Every structure is written in C-alpha cells, then in structure tokens.
Structure 1
Amino acid sequence: MVKAKRKKTNLGSYKFGSVLFSITLSLFITGLVGLILLQAKALTSLIRENIEIQVFLNKNLSESDIKKLENTIRSKPYILEKDGEKRFSYISKEEAARVFTSEIGEDFTQFLNENPLRDTFTFSVEESYQSADQLEDLVRELQLMEGIFEVSYMQDLVESINKNLVKVSMILGAFVLILLITVVILINNTIRLALFSQRFLIRSMQLVGATKGFIRKPFLRRSFFFGALGGLLASAMLFGLMEYGRQMIEGFNLLYNLEWLLLLFSGLIILGAILSLLSTLKSVNKYLNMSLDDLY
C-alpha cells in the first residue's frame, strides 16, 4: 500500500495569491483616486493660469516711462513664472488697433479720427496670490503707481473658481478618507483570513519552544514583500493607464506631471508594504495570544 506524501508546510508559507490580488486591487483603486486628484490639481492650475490682469496706461507716456513701469511690475512676486519665463506681455495701442481692426474687418480709427485704445500690460498671477482679498490688494497697489490709468480682471470668474474649489476639495477629501478606511479594512481582513489556516502551525511552534519574535519574522518579511509588490503592480497598471490616456486623448499631456506620478507610485508601494506589515503583525499577535480552545 502506497502512503500519500504529506506536503511539508513552512512557517509563513501560506498562499498569498488572494492576498496579493486584494492588495493590488485596493492600491490600484486608491491610486486611481490619487490620479484623479492630481489631474484635478493640474487642471485647476491651468485654469488659474488663464486668470489675467490688464493694466491700462495713461496716454502720451514716453517709451522710457513705459519701460520703467514695465520693469517695476515685472519685478513683483505675484507675476506668474513658467518654464523660466514671466507670463507678462506689453501691447501698444497701435498693435491693439491693428488686432481690433482685423477682427471687425473695418478700420475704426478712420471715422473716429483717433485711436481711443491704450497701451496695455497683461500678465498672469501666481496661484498663491489668487484669493479675492489678495487680488484686490494687488489691484490697489497697481492703481497707485504713476502712469497707470486703470486695472481690471475677471472678478466674477475668480470668485466662482475659488468657491467651487472649496466645495470640490471638501467632497474629494471626504471620499478619499472613506476610501482609505475601506482599503485598510479590506487588506486587514484578507490577511487575517489568510493567516487563519496557519493558526495551528503557530501554536505548534510555540509548543516546541519558538519565541514570538522567531514566529513573527517569516510572516512579517513575506507580508512586507507582497505588500510592496502589490503597490508596484498597482503603480504599473496606473502608469499604463496614463500612457494610454496620453495616446488617445488630445491635450492630455498638459495634465501630465511625471514628478507627481513618481511620488504617487512611491506612496502606493510604501502604503502597501506598511498596511500589509501592520495587518500581519496584528493577526499573528492575535493567534500567538489565543488559547487552544479559541483556536478551534
């Protein structure tokens, strides 16, 4: 009669397929929400970059006065700087007249006998200066400068953007909090169920004199590895999704920030490793301190 071979079970060698799948899926969903937040932030920044302030100058200013005024305003910290260049432009009244004439198809200066337009500075404002109060202070500061006739900006648009951003931030913040709690519970329950099959092996190791630290070590090492691996797999899936979006959606590159993506992926790997480690530690300690009757 041939005896069936009993498969040897090593401490900490429980099946991690379902655990890895759960960790990867949970982190992928978390990362997807993170991507949405990053894209929302990038989109918000693009919208804010289009908030411009127009500075209309007094008539009959000399070129030297205009240049001096331009240098003064350019040096201000609230001027948006992107790709090493200030988002600042000067449009003379002659150039403005040519543009306006080409748009309406008629030279309006002919029947007015003069050019009513003014030399204008137009610039974008740094995001940190775009609150309603800061913009009002900025406008007042500019209007006090000699040679400036009027300062204008789209006040209603700024107020609308700021109000909507507060509402969206509160909703997304609550959603992220709920999601994180759900992910923690899911990973914790998955690991706890996986370790349930190891409870008698843990007790057997205790009976032969193994210390708690010796028993914990292979479980913690394995869980840390698979948690990090789950984060890595989730990051790879998200990166593939981003690359697909760049190829299929026109203008998607404007929202693409590799530095923020790398930070998100690093966070997912660390989060997966830590959550897996802590959940395993909690479950192993539970079975280490459980009585024999409770194990059944």
Structure 2
Amino acid sequence: MEQKTRKKRKLGSYPFVSVTLSITLALFVIGLFGMLALHASKLTTVIQENIELQVFLNKQITSSEISKINRTIGSKPFVLKKDDAPVIRMVTKEEAAEQFIKDTGEDFTEFLGDNPLRDVLIVNINPGHQASDSLKMIKADIEKIGGVYEVSYVESLVESINENLTKIGLILVGFFLILLLVVVILINNTIKLALFSQRFLIRSMQLVGATAGFIRGPFLKRSVWYGLLAGTFASLMLFFLMTYANTRIEDLSQLQDIQSLAILFGSIIVLGMMVGFLSTYRAVRKYLKLSLDELY
C-alpha cells in the first residue's frame, strides 16, 4: 500500500528565508536613508561651524593688547569651542599681504610704500547663535571692545545657508516619515501573507481547546527572532557598504560619528523586532476571529 508522507506543520512556523529576506531588505532601505541623514546632519554641523566673523584691529596695536582682545572674545558664549578652547585664529597684516600677492600676482606695497592691511582675528560662531539678529548683536558687542576697528561678515551668505539648511532638514524629515510608513506596511504585509498558510492550523488548535495566548505564543517568539536576525543582517550590510564607501570617497569618514551609527544600527534591530512582533500579533488575532467560511 502506497503511503504518501506529508511534512507536518509546526505551530508558529512560517517561511524563514522569504520572511527574513523581505524584512532585511526593508530595514536596509530605511537604514540607508538613516545613514544619509546622519551624514547630512554632520555636514550641516561642519558648514555651520565654519561661519566666521572677521574682527579687524586698530593699527599700531601691541601684541599684549591683541592677546587681551583674544581672551575677551574667547570668553563670550557665542564663540565656537572645541576641546574647551575657543576657535579663534590670528591673521597678521603681513600674512594677509602675502596671501593677497599670491592670489593676484601684484605687490601693492611697491607703489603704496606701506602695508594698509590690518591684523584680523577670525572668530568661528557657535551654531546656536547664527540667526541674523544674533549676529548683529554679536557684531555690535565685539565692536565695543577697545582696540577693535571693525567687525565684518557676509550677511547674505549666512542667511542663505540658514534658510537652505532649514529647508533640507524639513525635506529629510518628510521623506523619513514616508519611508518609515512604507517599510512598516511592507513588513506587516509580508508577515500577514506568511501566516496565511497557518490559518487552518490556528483553527485546528482552537477546535481542540487551545487558548488564544497559547496559539499566539510560538508565532510571537518566532517573529521577534526573525526581526532580530533581519535587523542584524541589515546592520551588517550597512556597515560593509559604509566601509566600502569610505575607501572610495575621500574624507567621508570625517562625517561619521561612531556613537550615532551604533544608535542607528541598534534602532534598526529594535524596529525589526517591534514591527515583526506587532504585525504577527495583529495577523494571528485576525485569524483567531475569522469563521471557517471566512478562512476559505
């Protein structure tokens, strides 16, 4: 007598490869956008940290007076600080003349007989004080210091940078929310379709008296495990992609922060586990409530 063997279905089991691959790709896409957003944020910070004020000093000023002005400006809260040190650099009139001659090829000191340029302090401004009104107040504050001749900055450039950075930030947030919604829907539908083949097994368990919690348990545990694996795979793919990009794009690593990337990779893993758990819970709950006719 010919016997036909059929593979037994285990409660809570559904396609491993297809589900894990689908969730991994979905998490990889949102992780890739997250990496782009982190790089854009770091680039924004770099741009803002390079906004400078030029503080022109009086002629015939002594080195001690320059040091005093430097310390006075450096103590102000609007000055950018790195490693607890104010970011201020000195450009002497001799250095400025040398650079001018190098750029233009003309030595203006030959026909003027003197160097009309002034010593300049280049002051980097903290990003939190770069609004137009703040910069005007900073300019007036520095010009009150004794020995300061004039304070200058390109006002139109600063306003343009601030406006563009604000627009880019809003666009990135909008894209991220849309992409997150798409990824959640994609993972939800993937798990829902995977559980479709288990609907009659769920019904059979109900008929033998199994409680809803007993039926849901194996599915939820497996969904968390699949989400953990998918998040880990997506994070590894992003890490290798980032490593490859660093070898191809010069100075790209300077825009990367290890702590932020670690938070991103951890968030991807947690997102995979959470979405997998919630999607599985909703799908199993739906099949538990369907009648036999509706299951068909």
Question: Do they fold alike, i.e. is TM over 0.5?
Answer: yes
Partner residue in 2 for 1:164: 164
* Pair 1:177-2:177 in alignment: yes
Cα pair 1:51 1:154 within 8 Å, conserved: no
CA deviation vs aligned residue, 1:30-76 (integer Å, no higher than 9, x gap): 11111111111122222223221110011222322221111111122
Is 1:139 aligned to residue 139 of structure 2? Answer: yes
Mean CA deviation greater in 236-245 or 9-18: 9-18
Question: Any idea what SS the aligned residue of 2:55 has?
Answer: strand
- The aligned amino acid for 2:177 is L
Whether the 8 Å contact between 1:52 and 1:153 is mirrored in structure 2 is yes
| More off after superposition, 246-255 vs 215-224 | 246-255
Which residue in 2 is equivalent to 1:125? 125
Q: CA RMSD in A?
A: 1.7
Give the structure 1 partner of residue 16 of structure 2: 16
**Corresponding residue for 2:272?**
272
Deviation at 1:186, TM superposition (A): 0.8
Which range is displaced more, 253-262 or 21-30?
253-262
Note if 1:186 corresponds to 2:174: no
How far did 1:104 drift? 4.2
Q: Name the residue aligned to 1:216.
A: 216
Q: Who is 1:202 aligned against?
A: 202
Q: Which amino acid aligns with 1:224?
A: V
What corresponds to 1:2 in structure 2?
A: 2
- Superposition deviation, residue 155 in structure 1: 1.4
- Percent identity, aligned pairs only, is 53
Matched, 1:236 2:243: no
Distance 2:28 2:19 in 1: 14
Secondary structure at the counterpart of residue 146 of structure 1: coil
Question: CA separation in 2, counterparts of 1:172 and 1:122?
Answer: 33
Aligned to 2:54: 54
Instruction: Provide the secondary structure at the position in 1 that maps to 2:133.
Output: helix
1:248, CA displacement in angstroms?
1.0
Structure 1 residue 25 and structure 2 residue 19: aligned? no
- In the alignment, residue 202 of structure 2 is paired with which amino acid? I
Amino acid at match of 1:11: L
CA distance in 2, matches of 1:133, 1:278: 48
Q: Secondary structure of 1:176's match?
A: helix
Deviation at 1:287, TM superposition (A): 1.0
Q: 1:226: Cα distance to partner?
A: 0.7
1:113 is displaced (CA, Å) by 2.9
Measured in 2, the distance between the counterparts of 1:268 and 1:6 equals: 38
The code of the aligned residue for 1:55 comes to V
The offset of 1:107, in angstroms, is: 4.1
**Match for 1:182: what amino acid?**
V
Which one is further off, 92-101 or 274-283?
92-101
Q: Tell me, in whole angstroms, the C-alpha distance in 1 between the residues paired with 2:201 and 2:131.
A: 62
Deviations 1:183-235 (A, max 9, x none): 11111111111111111111111122221111111111110111121111111
Q: In 2, Cα distance between the equivalents of 1:241 and 1:126?
A: 33
**Partner AA of 1:230 in structure 2:** A
Number of aligned pairs?
296
Q: How does 1:282-293 map to 2 (within 5 A)?
A: 282-293=282-293
- Rounded to whole Å, the distance in 2 between the matches of 1:179 and 1:95 is 51
Give the C-alpha shift of residue 93 in structure 1.
2.3
When normalised by structure 1's length, the TM-score is: 0.94
Unaligned runs of 5+ in 1: none
Matching residue of 2:37: 37
Task: Give, in angstroms, the shift of residue 20 of structure 1.
Answer: 1.0
Please list the CA deviations of residues 123-181 of structure 1 after superposition, one character each: whole Å capped at 9, or x if unmatched.
21122222222222211211122221111112121111111122222222222121111
Range with greater deviation from structure 2 (60-69 or 271-280) = 60-69
Report the Cα distance in structure 1 between the residues aligned to 2:148 and 2:93, rounded to whole angstroms: 14
Match of 1:250 in 2: 250
Alpha-carbon deviation of 1:86? 3.3
Partner of 2:81: 81
How far 1:84 moved relative to its partner?
Answer: 5.5
Matches within 5 A, 1:67-106: 67-82=67-82, 85-106=85-106
- On the 8 A contact 1:56/1:118 being kept in 2, the answer is yes
In structure 2, the gaps of 5 or more residues are none
1:139 maps to a residue whose letter is K
Q: Which residue of 1 aligns with 2:109?
A: 109
